[in-house]
Chain A
Amino acid sequence: MTGVGEAGHRGARARSDCWVRVELRDAGGIDLAVQSKVDAMYGDAVRRTCHAALDALAVRHAAVAVEDQGALDFVLAARLETAVKRAGAGGGATFLPDRGSGAAAPPARDRLRRSRLYLPGDEPRHFVNARLHAPDAVILDLEDAVAPAEKDAARLLVRNALRMVDFRPCERMVRINPGDLGLADVDAVVPENVHALLIPKAESAEQVRAVDARADAARRAAGLRVPCFLVPIIETALGCFNALAIAAASPNVVALTIGLEDYTADLGVERTAEGRESLWARQTVVNAARAAGVSPSDSVFSDVADLEGLRAAVLEAKALGFEGKGCIHPRQVPVVHAAFAPAPDEIARAQRIVLAFEDATRRGLGVVAVGSKMVDPPVVKRALRTLRTAEELALVPPDWRTDRTPTDDAERPAAAERGGAE
């Protein structure tokens, strides 16, 4: 064999990454040349990983050059495997580095999904610290953030990251590619305990079921007993019309979201800040998601410098019925969380309603009132949801019923005061 393969990024700007060149030979063993920025500290470790990777991929004779800008092991391993495969060797073999302790965190259907932070799948340097910014989910993106020529590289990098990088307590999501490329993505990443797959450009229930079936097969083959959830992304007019069928395509669908850049491109219109052009589509997604019993989640806000604009956009999304927002920069995460969090007056109102409801129930009264207003059951339901969120976010103490501070004494529950409804 005499193929040549290169992978990774070169030069001082390729921080926390490396570049690998593998030139296969017929004889002469492994000729490894490592230039590493961290040679003094981790040079031996770098060389060990190189030899282990070449061994696992059955490369016996090759000239291998590595230019290392401080790549962590999972990156180095992925770059080597990519270069070997691009050189035409390795066959079906893989080099799977040892799993880190965070890889086994289990998925959960019911959890907060206010923020999901996109991490470009071919840029490893943001992976290890992503969880420190506390998004509800991280998305390792194999789709739009990855150039077509680097899809193979990103897939291996993301697979290794899922094995070795600790993303806890975030939900581990991967955005796969559309079509067959995406199904191959599923094969590579699902065995590494992906909590949810984002399915881009979802236009039909069949499409979702195809990914579901493929994920199921990959999961079983890997001996995983936990489910792999799905989050279809509506990005076209056709997707909008099939939104309900898409959301209801599998019990594994946990949320439905929308991609507005692609959607507006599909319509042939500009994406504006006001978003009038996409209002119907967003409302369609909210309604389809609710109809199917899954969580509606909004698109990303693309101006990372405009945190005030983001806050307004999240408040608007919340008003439309969305429960989550995509983030493309970690600094967006706290803004999204704060905007989705129930406001103090919202919490106080919910507390009054719930106290009145509980008091009325205790007294066996059928009707609940707060002040002069009758409170219908759906209002109580909404208030309970608000308080559950507030408790999860520690905005109210679990014992708020006995702790008097959050409620305004001047507006004590009418039912308690007057002993009955009006």
Chain B
Amino acid sequence: MTGLTPNALGRLVPDMVNGRREAPFQGVHGHRPAGRKAAPAIRSAADYPASGDKRVASLVEALEACELRDGMTLSTHHHFRNGDLVGNMLFDACAKLGRRDLTWFPSASFPCHAPIIDHMEAGVVHHVEGSLNGPLGDYCTDGRMRGLGVLRSHGGRWQAIQDGEVHVDVAVVAAPCADPFGNANGVHGPAACGSLYFALADSLYADRVIVVTDHLVPFPALPWQIQGNNVDHVVCVDRIGDPAKIVSGTTEITRSPDRLLVAEWTARFVRDAGIMREGFSFQAGAGGISLAFAIYLKEMMKQAGVRARFVRGGSTKYLVEMLREGLTDYLLDGQTFDLDGVASMRDDPRHQATSPFTSYNYHGKGFFGSFVDVVVLGATEVDVNFNANVVTHSDGRLLHGIGGWQNCLFAKCTVLAVPTMRDRIPVIVDEVTTLTGPGELVDVVVTERGIAINPRRGDLLAAVKGTGLPVREIRDIQREVEQICGGKPTPPRRGRQVVAAVKWVDGTVLDSVWKVER
């Protein structure tokens, strides 16, 4: 049993995670790294075919050529979201080779990866370090996984690889388009998904890199988002993903009137607080409220004759339309959610694919996420001190990964746009079940019952004075909702066993996820 230490925000966190000694969270900017970055072994072109043809017949063969051993760490990426076929394909191959106790280090997992549970039960996979939800999330929160889950942000995953906290032995990059040398991109081919940059760190730092594709083109595959110079082997298969589940043909805006109201108020806040001005920037994802927010804001920008310098996506056709209509100079895109987004990234040089390094990595010489003027995010819970939870349900079960959420908190103005309740479950609570974002970085909570501004942001409070926006104390909104729900909810019973660790952007441990007793 590992020891538990209270961190700077009083959360009990494990000292050891999967055999590594971990530092507890020391404040938002408290931890300073030392030492040098990790680096892969030096290779020689003498060991690679001068013809540039690195193809091998199968994934099994490629893994053998990589000298896969028991206990190694393998990574895959979530560019195909719930349509990914390569994650399961990889561990089927490992099972065929008789390997055991492997660590899966995905950039995110999805419900389609439920078969990994069988591989964990069979001993092929020891544990998963990456976002866990659906059946995998339950497997972890039920305390059945052998190792601890480790939840990291997209920026935190780059940091962990770069700092040598996680060493990837074999990275497997599912590529919608690749050439025999290993250059790869996500903008061409039947499984086109946009960019492949969640795999960029792995391609730079892993010992071995395998590209798996279902759309091989002769050299050069351009753009070379993943450079063949970092790639060991190329494997061609029939299918790497289910296009229908990778990007949607059309992006749906929420129809919930309450969520639309939240989105509208968020846009009005951004406008009336003076954030929406010539040359500003904003980030809004593809969540229902964020998407609707972008649509409301677009209309307001048109009315006011205001243009953005850049918009940060998760891109959708709505952001692409803003780019085409000249409402923003650039679209900086971390991941692409629909076919319009993919086509735009492929064809329009102003639609730039960005990696977690440029946008999010905290252990670099800055990152652009910190100077986005306003970012609109979701959350499952917010507490009265503006701390927020995005990884677990209110009952403690793992719900989804952190994604870029933590990294985005550093924007100049961070807005959580959330409904005040989900069915009978209040969203504003006394204390979050799982701390994912410290309240000092959360500036505004917009709900359908009013807008709560963090008292630390006197400037924002002053900016919206007299605008007619429904600004309220966060506790006041909480009281109203608890009255509707029939009183304060019973506080969750915390389990006794830590099943996962939530990392901060600097690699320290922000909180623990506890086993949920059924």
Contacts and interface: CB of A to CB of B under 8 A. Distances in A.
Interface of A: 15-16, 37-38, 40-45, 69-73, 100, 125-126, 128-129, 132-133, 166, 329-331
B423 A16 contact: yes
B484 interface: yes
Contacts of A38: 423-425, 489
B407 interface: no
Interface in B393-445: 394-395, 422-425
Interface in B466-499: 483-487, 489-490, 492-493
Contacts of A42: 424, 485-486, 489-490
B424 A70 contact: yes
Question: Among A16, A40, A128, which residue has the most Cβ atoms of chain B within 10 A?
Answer: A40
B260 interface: yes
A300 to B, nearest CB: 16
Q: Which 3 A-B pairs have the closest CB atoms?
A: A70-B423, A41-B489, A330-B257
B424 A132 contact: no
Given A42-B485, A132-B261, A71 B424 contact: yes
Given A16-B424, A132-B258, A132-B449, A40 B486 contact: no
Interface footprint category on B: 20 to 34
Contacts of B511: none
B258 A40 contact: no
Interface in B345-404: 394-395
A134 to B, nearest CB: 10
A128 B484 CA distance: 8
Contacts of B258: 129, 132, 330
A69 B425 CA distance: 10
Given A37-B423, A40-B395, A41-B425, A72 B485 contact: yes
B490 A41 contact: yes
Contacts of B257: 126, 129, 133, 329-331
Nearest to B394: A41
A45 B423 contact: no
B448 interface: yes
Contacts of B485: 42, 72
Contacts of B486: 42, 45, 72-73
Given A41-B489, A42-B485, A70 B425 contact: yes
Nearest to B419: A129
Given A38-B424, A70-B425, A132 B490 contact: no
Nearest to A332: B257
Contacts of B425: 38, 41, 70
A80 B491 CA distance: 27
A132 B492 contact: no
A119 B223 CA distance: 53
A45 B484 contact: no
Contacts of B490: 40-44
A70 B422 contact: yes
Contact of B424 (A72, A126, A133, A331): A72
A15 B424 contact: no
Given A40-B395, A42-B490, A45-B486, A69 B423 contact: yes
A126 B255 CA distance: 13
A131 to B, nearest CB: 10
A71 B492 CA distance: 19
Question: Among B257, B260, B424, B492, which residue has the most Cβ atoms of chain A within 10 A?
Answer: B424
Nearest to B489: A41
Contacts of A43: 490
A45 B487 contact: yes
27 contacts: A15-B423, A16-B423, A37-B423, A37-B424, A38-B424, A40-B489, A40-B490, A41-B395, A41-B424, A41-B492, A42-B489, A43-B490, A45-B487, A69-B423, A70-B423, A70-B424, A71-B423, A71-B424, A72-B424, A72-B485, A72-B486, A100-B483, A129-B257, A129-B258, A132-B448, A132-B449, A166-B484
A72 B489 contact: no
Contacts of A331: 257, 260
Nearest to B488: A41
Question: Among A37, A72, A125, A129, which residue has the most Cβ atoms of chain B within 10 A?
Answer: A129
Nearest to B429: A41
A236 to B, nearest CB: 32
Nearest to B257: A330
A173 B394 CA distance: 36
Nearest to B396: A40
B423 A40 contact: no
Contacts of A37: 423-424
Contacts of A73: 486
A125 B487 CA distance: 18
Contacts of B395: 40-41
B61 to A, nearest CB: 44
Given A38-B423, A40-B394, 10 more contacts: A38-B424, A38-B489, A42-B424, A42-B486, A71-B423, A71-B424, A125-B423, A126-B257, A129-B258, A330-B257
Nearest to A70: B423
B451 to A, nearest CB: 13
Interface string B247-265: 0000000000110110000
